[in-house]
Chain A
């Protein structure tokens, strides 16, 4: 059985953020300025331009998506709870 992370219910929810480079939409959440959760789907993974083509190769982050999430947080479309 797969359970839900209660932090998503009690704290900030996941919200859509669009990548400014590839236009893919992922679900993002920030519990603070330094914390980020990103839920991709297959479509977003397929659209990402930074992902290595090699399957199984480690890929820590898409830089363009990171910038997009930061921009969304700064501009307020992605909620960041007060410290």
Chain B
């Protein structure tokens, strides 16, 4: 059993949880993830780790409430427990020792940047962070990222805040203006990561994407998480989750991500109204 220490609603349907999981903090490095199971009949879902507090023995995760499992999680608050947290899983981010680094984050991929940028800074890099959201209301982790990065650009698709456009546009402009970077790390929706890879490809900049395929065990046992990288099948949970973005077959990843979409939607529809209602009731209380 793992206790929820704190819960914070960051935006609509985006919640930050701080969970006591001392063993996960022990050897955790930026870029690694964990898998949680909320309740006994629930699924195992992979989550990025947004922050870690070794002394308190806590991890922080940011969850978008989209499916049945995350809806169930959303009903829990500080003091409640979840059944399983296992990690850290996967390889840490391998950024080398860059002088100039870029973090590109989109949506719920942004919080992962918190630790990745910290790592870049520790490696001695000057860091540009570009974080993008659909609209102003959905902006999360802006202050945390600002506090770490040397420069921050926030974009919104609808122009309601910051730069009006996609995260790739400021990146493209910098590159065209002659800025040089040693590494770019992209975490976010697949289409965003694919677009970032296409922008950096002509410049030959080492670009890392943190992939988010469907997972089950997270220990390399089932192959649900397989992705095609450089023409070879890799298991994202043990070989990744971060890969050379210029080698990743993003189209295949997108195709595989829709495998359970229909079933997920059915499951989600079975519950959300009740969940929202219960959530509101518990908030009133």
Q: Do A and B come from one complex?
A: no
Residues in chain A within 8 A of chain B (CB atoms): none
